[in-house]
Structure 1
Amino acid sequence: MSLVEIIIWIFFGALAGWIASIITGKNKQMGAMENIVSGIAGAFLGGFILENFFSTDGFTGLNVYSFIVAILGAVVLIWLVGLFRGGRRRRR
Structure 2
Amino acid sequence: MGLIILLVVGGIIGWLASMIMRTDGQQGIVLNVVVGIVGALLAGFIVTPLIGGAPITSGVISIQSILVSLLGAVVLLAIVNLVRRGSVR
The TM-score bracket by the shorter chain reads 0.7 to 0.9
> How far apart, CA to CA, are the structure 1 residues paired with 2:54 and 2:76?
16
**Counterparts in 2 of 1:19 and 1:73: CA distance versus 1, 3 Å:** same
Question: What is the match of residue 42 of structure 2?
Answer: 45
Segments of 5+ residues of structure 2 without an aligned counterpart are: none
Question: What is the match of residue 76 of structure 1?
Answer: 75
> How far apart, CA to CA, are the structure 1 residues paired with 2:39 and 2:85?
20
Higher share in helix: 2
> How far apart, CA to CA, are the structure 2 residues paired with 1:80 and 1:36?
17
CA RMSD of aligned residues (A): 1.9
**Counterparts in 2 of 1:87 and 1:31: CA distance versus 1, 3 Å:** farther
Where has structure 1 moved over 6 Å in runs of 4 or more?
A: none
The number of residue pairs the alignment matches comes to 84
Larger Rg: 1
Deviation string for 1:41-79 (max 9, x for gaps)?
A: 000111222146x35345161222111111110000000
TM-score (norm 2): 0.82
Segments of 5+ residues of structure 1 without an aligned counterpart are: none
2:52 to 37, 44, 56: 56
What's the % identity of the aligned pairs?
A: 38
